[in-house]
Structure 1
Amino acid sequence: MLRAEERPESDVIARIRAALLPWYRAHRRSLPWREASDPYAVWVSETMLQQTQVRTVIPYFTRWMERFPTVTALAEAPLEEVLRYWAGLGYYARARHLHAAARDVVERYGGALPADLDALLALPGIGRYTAGAILSIAFGVRAPILDGNAIRVFSRLFLVEGDPGSARVQRRLWELAEALVPEDAPGDFNQGVMELGATICLPEEPRCDSCPLAGECAALATGRVAELPQARRRAQTVREEHVCAVLREQDRVLMVRRPPEKLWGGLWELPRARRRSEESLAECAARAMRETVALEVIPGAPLAVTRHVVTHHQITLHAVAVDAARGTPVATGCDAWEWVPLAEAAEHRPVSAPQARILRALTGGLAHPREVN
């Protein structure tokens, strides 16, 4: 809890609320999940928006809500279809958690999200931020939120120093968020904080001259806006090479479904392995087939290459043609395998973005090896 000397004065809190709420109502962007304060729509949108930009989320959200308009519709859908509608957004654990939580909500609450913090936090994939967004925006419950935008706004308003990811700074920021959110219109206030961070209080070149809270901002008053929030220590980039094996049977390719707990879990892909040091592309492709479907193959020519970034991992994915020498596929390192028409592989199966690029390139025909984007 904030000590008395750390808590913003009541008149400061009142001025911030009085300035932010009308600004948000006048300037908020028109976004599909803001059309109605439906708890399910808030939950889906906030989950999609984690580590993903708004402009990317909009078409995914629209398609998702058309196919899974209610918690019950999502719970009744097979996981593979859910992953297919998520394909391209990345961080697929979010989709798996949505699906698992929807089933819990149907079983325990009859398909209606509970308006209770502890009950929401008990659902798969819902943390304090998402729970606060659902409670405040959909149910009008006074609950704080803290996302990247809010961290930036609060850090500058109140000169919060230190690593925003540390327990000490997180605690301070959550306490500030709790102190500021009003009893009336908590959802509008929380969305106003996020909107301010997304459109005005930017990481670089903030538009302080247009900020409704400029008069309350300690960082602006002391010339420290550019310093805050203090940058986290970035994880070192890890570079990996992966190789996928392309085994054809007429117009079909052999694809496997990944185990759910691994990278791109639950998605379909061409058999893939991480390339070891001193291992050739051909050797890695052959090992991928052995480890996933217990097939001995004769590696052929490289077909394509693509690059992909996942958090701090930079992955280069090569595709190599192979011919089966002997054996029948057995799902040893995957959940399932199947011969899939190449023309349908990228569009009708949940596949990762780099695999989709490879598959589309193969569908178009490759006369020579090339990089695909």
Structure 2
Amino acid sequence: MFVLCSNHADMEETERIEPARRRGRAAASNPSGRFEPYRHVIVADGWDREEEPTPLRTEVTEERPRRVLTTNDSPDVGFDVSLNPYRGCEHGCIYCFARPGHAWLGLSPGLDFETRLIARPQAPEVLGRELAARGYVPRVIAIGTYTDPYQPIERDRRIMRRLLEVLSAHDHPVAITTKGMLIERDIDLLAPMAAKGLVHVGLSVTTLDPATARAMEPRVPSPARRLLVLRRLAGAGIPVRVMVAPVVPALTDHEIEAILAAAAESGAKAAGLIVLRLPAEVAPLFRDWLAERFPDRAARVMNRVRELHGGRDYDPAWGRRMTGQGEWARLLAARFDLACRRLGLARALPPLRTDLFRVPGGSGSQLSLF
């Protein structure tokens, strides 16, 4: 049964979910979010029965958004307008900085983030209305900067595809970030947009080792499969930037040059690097994951993480949160820059065009008389 503990400080250890129930998931627990007044604790009540644990299944609910375009004024990201077709992400990357967002929904940043997803099926229609609004000024829309638009549920939901259809109809620029192979399905839309200078794709490759990838990103396509996606996108004329992100010190940092070389050989034109960041609830989830999956190097990884972030698990300061600080951060950046120069990978792709934007059927919402 469950009991409630009113004081979060009373629970230093989070209740772990048995491995059989969370097979194919990264988080080992489902802690309450930081805004919840109570924690749920599993206790034995004497009625235990010998039966197979029920695996956690993905649940999807729907949200009806009034607006879908959001803005930010962060100086260290390359966009100021973004859109998210989903909340939560079935890819389940243990390091995902978006996990704390589930706490705002009254859900757990742990297993809930991977299994209790929210889809926004009306997003394409809402986007169309926003783009057609009087006075709208086109700016590059970033999709996939929070949760992946090509996570597995997109196969059936097709929200991302319908968003691309709206953007294509308006000749509107879009920058997509993903790890998912489902993006190949939409090459028929992306290639004509790319020919007009309307789309970039950022493809994240964190490691080339399939075992590390499976542990760290349990429902993401394998590294080899992601490189094949990169090759197919590039072959269709779609500009692709490989993202070595995040770099996990003492676990994947030694692969920077190999990842860049494999990406360049597959057709990437540019590259970016982001060091591991562990905001809010992500830090304890990541520490638990390390202790379970890589106990031999857990202490070393976290020591390096703290060295990168001024002695803390995470430093949220702009200008440092994604690059880190100190000698080790400078060494990472120097290695990355040297490899990019050697491989012909630019820091960024050419800017996307906004001058082609149009509202189908005429200007604004005024209908033609003839």
Q: What's the TM-score once normalised by structure 1's chain length?
A: 0.25
Question: Greater helix percent: which structure?
Answer: 1
Q: What's the TM-score once normalised by structure 2's chain length?
A: 0.26
